[in-house]
Amino acid sequence: MCGESLSPALFEHAQKLLVDVLTFLSPVNVIVGTYFLEHGRFRRRERSVLLDTIFSIVRRKLEFGHYAQSAQGSLERNLVLLGLVFTRGLKSVQLVTTPDEMAWLEQILQIDPVSLAPRVRSNLPSWIYQRLIAHLGELETEALAASMNQSAPLDCRVNLMKANRDDTLAALCKCGYLAKPTPFSPNGIRLVEKPELQKHSLFIAGAFEIQDEGSQLLCQLVAPRRGEIIVDFCAGAGGKTLAIGAAMRSTGRLYAFDVSEKRLSKLKPRLLRSGLSNVYPVVIDSEYDTKIERLVGKIDRVLVDVPCSGLGTLRRNPDMKWRQSPETVDELTGKQISILASASRLVKLGGRLVYATCSILHDENQEIVKSFLTTHLDFVEIPVNMVLSAQKINLDTGKYLELNPHRHGTDGFFAAVFERRRLTNDSR
């Protein structure tokens, strides 16, 4: 429907949906999904229009809100008009605008974004903007914010148990997809568009999984070996678990821990497709569940991808910046410290510990590492660039993995690698 005039009925739906979304009481995709179920009978292209419009508004809420002040009509109406025009052009609103509104929109399109205040241009809440400025500076923050306001590409990880990248890439290109190798991950494929790959025969057969390249690189830091005992401490739906299991060639034992049975249940169908037989999903009640105790001091490698603000995923989940707050981040950092401390007990002498987040905030990243090293003298840092170099991955972000869309084309990720050099009473 790009370029087509939107019907008044669909425009009305967009306004009603936006009212619900701007409460930010639930994730946008949940609110939109519920709205589709309740109102039904939307054609696929109509759903696409509504999704693109809503996500555009959420991404650029400050900027669009600034523009909306100069027009008549309700805020929701003005925001939807802007969302449509910036994603589908002026022609898309011809059937739903007055002459005055069309003139206003034409004027808005002539505005140079550089003329806007930096924070308005960034479309970030003040507290996030100030924290980024403090650590990155204005120019880097502006570049990062601009990249976060773009839509993310679709990345896949080839399952080495069933396929290789060259053959999978050739098969996808043969189907007409615009696909290419990811620049850093040796098993990744990036698609420019977002086809429904879940219906592709190769996906159904388990030849690949949907996974951002940054997430794939976190698994490379674990650097699993065949026959080892490994723990994915916060496994969630198991994307990283599957990548680690494939790298182990389904040997050894790989425990997937998570406190959410619902999240972990999503691993089961993926596990069946993958062909892996070395994965053991385990629901735990907390990071100090008694099920964990029997593994203390016995694990070769532990990945701790902790619950975090998710602010590194704003290209995919733009509502996260409006749903998080300084208070929620403070609560998260307390959990992150506790989870990392508990997970570290599992690591055996000479074993590896990887701490990771999909956050761009120092509070959840460097500050957690600093706190951990202060209280865990039995661990030392291993520079991430050394770990990646050993695997012939041409990426150097220094001693930590710090990925961002404006520099690396991935979601925002952070990771630190530690090695246990001596045992303590807690790990014996």
Q: Collect all residues with Cβ–Cβ distance below 8 Å to 14 and sequence separation of at least 6.
A: 6, 49, 50, 53, 54, 80, 83, 84
Beta carbons of 295 and 232 less than 8 angstroms apart: no
What pTM was estimated for this model as a whole? 0.93
The amino acid present at 323, given as its one-letter code, is R
Rounded distance, CA 351 to CA 228, Å? 10
Residue-by-residue pLDDT tens, the chain, 428 positions: 455 788 999 999 999 999 999 999 999 999 999 999 998 788 989 999 999 999 999 999 999 999 999 998 899 999 999 999 999 999 999 999 999 999 999 999 999 999 999 999 999 999 999 999 999 999 999 999 999 999 999 999 999 999 999 999 999 999 999 999 999 999 999 998 888 898 899 999 999 999 999 999 999 999 999 999 999 999 999 999 999 999 999 999 999 999 999 999 999 999 999 999 999 999 999 999 999 999 999 999 999 999 999 999 999 999 999 999 999 999 999 999 999 999 999 999 999 999 999 999 999 999 999 999 999 999 999 999 999 999 999 999 999 999 999 999 999 999 999 999 976 655 54
**Nearest to residue 304, comparing CAs of 287, 280, 329?**
287
Geometric angle at alpha carbon 22, from 16 and 41, rounded to 5°: 35
Beta carbons of 20 and 31 less than 8 angstroms apart: yes
Q: Is 43 helix (H, G, I), strand (E, B) or coil?
A: coil
Beta carbons of 176 and 210 less than 8 angstroms apart: no
Helix-helix angle 61-68:44-59, to 10 degrees: 90
Tell me which DSSP letter residue 427 carries. Answer: G
Q: Is 230 helix (H, G, I), strand (E, B) or coil?
A: strand
Beta carbons of 163 and 207 less than 8 angstroms apart: yes
Tokens 């050739």, located at residue: 170
Structure token pair of residue 105? 């929109």
The count of other CB atoms within 10 Å of the CB of residue 267 is: 22
**Nearest to residue 170, comparing CAs of 189, 192, 196?**
189
Beta carbons of 229 and 424 less than 8 angstroms apart: no
